Structure 1
Amino acid sequence: MKLAGPVSRRSHFNVMTECSVLPGCETEVLGHLAELALATRIEPGSIGYDYFQSVENPRHILIVERYVTEADFSVHLASAHFAVLGKALINPLLADRKVLTFKGDGPTR
């Protein structure tokens, strides 16, 4: 499949976080993630922030983040919205969390 329009390739910094939410906290975590996604998507170095709830196990959430550089991800981690929403409100509601980082090429328009 060919993408329409001009496409250039450049390396990005990608983060995938797998979360296991404490029983009964799914709705609260998803609400906080919605707020965190809105704030993160407008950061200068953010290319994308999406999250998904498993169909088979509603307590399993996958967060997919994409940044221009690793430094942009570091800026995100130091942001006020991440401190409040991520660290203070979401993390205590998780039974487990695994963060994976990747560098790779991807299409940019």
Structure 2
Amino acid sequence: MFLTIARYTISAGNERTVLELVSELEAASREEEGCISFDAYLKTGDAQQLVLLERYESAAAFETHRASPHFERLVLGRIVPLLAARTVESFTLPEV
């Protein structure tokens, strides 16, 4: 299992546009082979703080997602220019 947490700080005035683009990204990403879940959450009381929780079967499935045409078009081409900040962290399940 592979988890990615992407945190977006949306530039003022771009909230609605980013949410519409993220909705399109969610739908396309959920159709990818290896994607277990893909959900976006707004911070309570702050419409400029958005977090994406993405679960994949493997790191390879996540890399396939990042190489997809919809990732390049939506995230890199349209969403990132509307953000004030963006961080991405990845996690794996510990082996016991």
Choose the corresponding residue for 2:33, options 23, 27, 44: 44
For structure 2, the residue ranges without an aligned partner over 5 or more in a row are none
Aligned pair count reads 94
Cα distance between partner residues in 2 of 1:16 and 1:104:
14
TM-score, scaled relative to structure 1: 0.84
- Larger proportion of helix: 2
Letter of the structure 1 residue corresponding to residue 23 of structure 2: A
Cα distance between partner residues in 1 of 2:8 and 2:45:
14
TM-score, scaled relative to structure 2: 0.95
Letter of the structure 2 residue corresponding to residue 67 of structure 1: Y
For structure 1, the residue ranges without an aligned partner over 5 or more in a row are 1-11
Choose the corresponding residue for 1:74, options 58, 63, 78: 63
Give the equivalent residue in structure 2 for 1:3.
Answer: none
Cα distance between partner residues in 1 of 2:55 and 2:88:
13
Larger radius of gyration: 1
Q: How many angstroms does 1:56 deviate by? A: 1.8
Cα distance between partner residues in 2 of 1:30 and 1:39:
14
Kindly provide the CA deviation profile for residues 50-79 of structure 1, in whole angstroms up to 9, marking residues without a partner as x.
001112211000000000000000000000
Kindly provide the CA deviation profile for residues 74-99 of structure 1, in whole angstroms up to 9, marking residues without a partner as x.
00000000010110010000100111
Give the equivalent residue in structure 1 for 2:47.
Answer: 58
Whether 1:24 and 2:8 are equivalent positions in the alignment is no
Q: How many angstroms does 1:22 deviate by? A: 0.3
- The alignment partner of 2:93 has SS state of strand
